Amino acid sequence: MDVGESAENDNPHHISPELYEDLVHYFKYASSAYQPICLRPNGNTLVSQFSNVVSDIQGFVARDTRRREIVVAIRGSASVTDILMDSQIVLVPLLSPGVTVPSGTRVHSGFLVTWNSISIQLLAIMRLELAKHPEFSIVTTGHSLGGSIALLAAVALQQIFAERQVRTYSYGAPRTGNQIFAEYVNGLFGTKAYRVVHGNDGVPTVIPTSLGYRHHGIEYWQYTHPPSEQTTFQCAANGEDERCSASTPSQGVNLAHTNYFGILVSTPFCL
């Protein structure tokens, strides 16, 4: 089903237990990406780590044989360099190896620089791994800055490995690009782009729409406690549902940003 295909998505509604379990499952990868090394990501096989010392970004590629998927997890902000990248909010054309997007597509300049700093390295890892596992799908995931980079990675991976299914999960990620970019992402992934927000986490709304930014859909808003499928809304497909997290004025980095589903960000799931 494409984004916007069903009128049901125009009204926030609670999600299924199965979807809730998936959202938690991929958050554990995103949380583990904060570790210097994760030998068994989410209990699965570590394929390779990747990093760039200049942009100070890191992550890993893992293989889940049971789910038959290759998972790319990217760390969120953890240093002064990351914060500097976060602050580079000028919208620039999306120019990246292997990527072709509609005219007028623009993204956060700091996020793009960060993604491009690891893109060739990551794509080389993925080519080798996917050649060994031609039937596996691809998942990207990340928290905060990592969620935005995971989205850019998903766009590149879906274009370069067009025969594979690609899904992407972000947790507490800021707006990444303009409306043309958001609409392109919605068309490329449909319901396979999962954007999760915890309560009044201020990071997803810290970059305002007045600067030309717009979220892609669909948002999954875990709005109150205790965390469960009954306290998580699936919001409208337009990415900017004013009845969900956009209804809360941004407080920037706050307590809600530091934990998702009752899990403290950077908790390792590496055994």
What is the domain-level CATH number for residue 138?
3.40.50.1820
pLDDT of residue 169: 98
On whether residue 168 sits in a domain, the answer given is yes
**Please, which residues bridge with residue 169 across strands?**
141, 194
- Say if 113 falls within a structural domain: yes
Q: Is residue 271 part of a domain?
A: no
207 token code pair: 């970059």
Q: Which of 205, 212, 204, 193 is nearest to 92 (CA)?
A: 212
Mean pLDDT of the chain, nearest integer = 94
Widest Cα–Cα separation across the chain: 47
Residue 247 to residue 17: CA distance in whole angstroms: 25
> What is the reported pLDDT for 4?
43
Q: Which long-range contacts does 120-124 make (Cβ < 8 Å, 24+ apart)?
A: 121/50, 121/52, 122/50, 122/59, 122/61, 122/72, 122/153, 123/97, 123/98, 123/156, 123/157, 123/160
Q: Is residue 81 pLDDT above 90, yes or no?
A: no
Q: Quick check: 73 pLDDT over 90?
A: yes
Does some domain include residue 243?
A: yes
Asked whether the predicted pLDDT for residue 31 surpasses 80, the reply is: yes
Query: Would the pLDDT of 192 be above 60?
Result: yes
pLDDT of 37 reads 97
The residue with greater pLDDT, 230 or 3, is 230
Catalytic positions, written as ranges: 144, 201, 257
pLDDT score recorded for residue 2: 43
**What's the number of domains the chain is made of?**
1
% of the chain surpassing 70 pLDDT: 94
Mean pLDDT of 129-145: 98
In a domain, 86, yes or no: yes
pTM greater than 0.85 (yes/no):
yes
Q: Of all residues in the chain, what percent carry a pLDDT higher than 90? A: 90
- Whether 79 shows a pLDDT value over 80: the answer reads no
Domain carrying residue 127: 7-264
Q: Flag whether pLDDT at 1 surpasses 50.
A: no
Residue 1, domain member (yes or no): no
Within a domain: 270: no
What sign has the CA pseudo-torsion 100, 101, 106, 107? Answer: negative
Residue 87's pLDDT is what?
Answer: 72
145: left (phi over 0), alpha (psi -120 to 50) or beta: alpha
